Structure 1
Amino acid sequence: MATKDYGPSIKDDEQYQALRREGASKEKAARIANAPRHRTGVRGGHAPPYEQWTKKELYQRAAELDISGRSTLDKRGLIRALRDH
């Protein structure tokens, strides 16, 4: 199957397309496909897991990412929304 050209905004069209097929959002697929190759396999920073965050901290992070419906979510819902983002 031919890889579609997504233009200059997507650096790795093949990786982007594979991520979209796996169910990643357009935003997440683009973020990963545009990351430098040497960083895509590297685990994230040194922040503690979301389960150790307070609800207020989770809410503030959700607000930074503009996650809709965050005001109605409990702690578990905020964690799920952040991970799915």
Structure 2
Amino acid sequence: MAKDHGNSIKNDKQYEELRDKGMSKEKAARIANTQNSGEKGGKADKYEERTKDELYEQAKKIGIEGRSDMTKDELIDALRNH
């Protein structure tokens, strides 16, 4: 049984699994709090298929600093490793 992390985490089991895989608390919480957390078969476009503007907006949403000076490839790397 997964530990209850309170209202701040919507999917406690997924959060713990992500933390066990070495993800930061912030990244694990962000993933576990998505609307479809825990569901398989996500339909999101791959980062490489998105425009630079779309990647920039995603980076802005999660607070990646220096995003305005990044290339598309740098944005992809930052999003994957944040």
How many aligned positions are there?
79
Per-residue deviation at 1:70? 0.8
The answer as to whether partners of 2:14 and 2:38 remain within 8 angstroms in 1 is no
CA distance in 1, matches of 2:34, 2:68: 31
Question: CA offsets, 1:3-35, max 9 Å, x none?
Answer: 9x67524563x7544432422110222345567
Structure 1: gaps (5+ residues) = none
Instruction: Give the TM-score, by structure 1 length.
Output: 0.60
1:77 aligned partner: 74
CA distance in 1, matches of 2:34, 2:72: 30
CA distance in 2, matches of 1:83, 1:43: 18
- Residue type of the alignment partner of 1:44: G
Structure exhibiting the larger radius of gyration computed from Cα positions: 1
CA distance in 1, matches of 2:72, 2:81: 14
| Aligned-residue CA RMSD (Å) | 3.1
With over 3 angstroms needed to count, the CA separation of the structure-2 counterparts of 1:54 and 1:40, relative to structure 1, is same
- Residue type of the alignment partner of 1:26: K
With over 3 angstroms needed to count, the CA separation of the structure-2 counterparts of 1:41 and 1:7, relative to structure 1, is closer
| Percent identity over paired residues | 49
Shift >6 Å, 4+ stretches:
none
Structure 2: gaps (5+ residues) = none
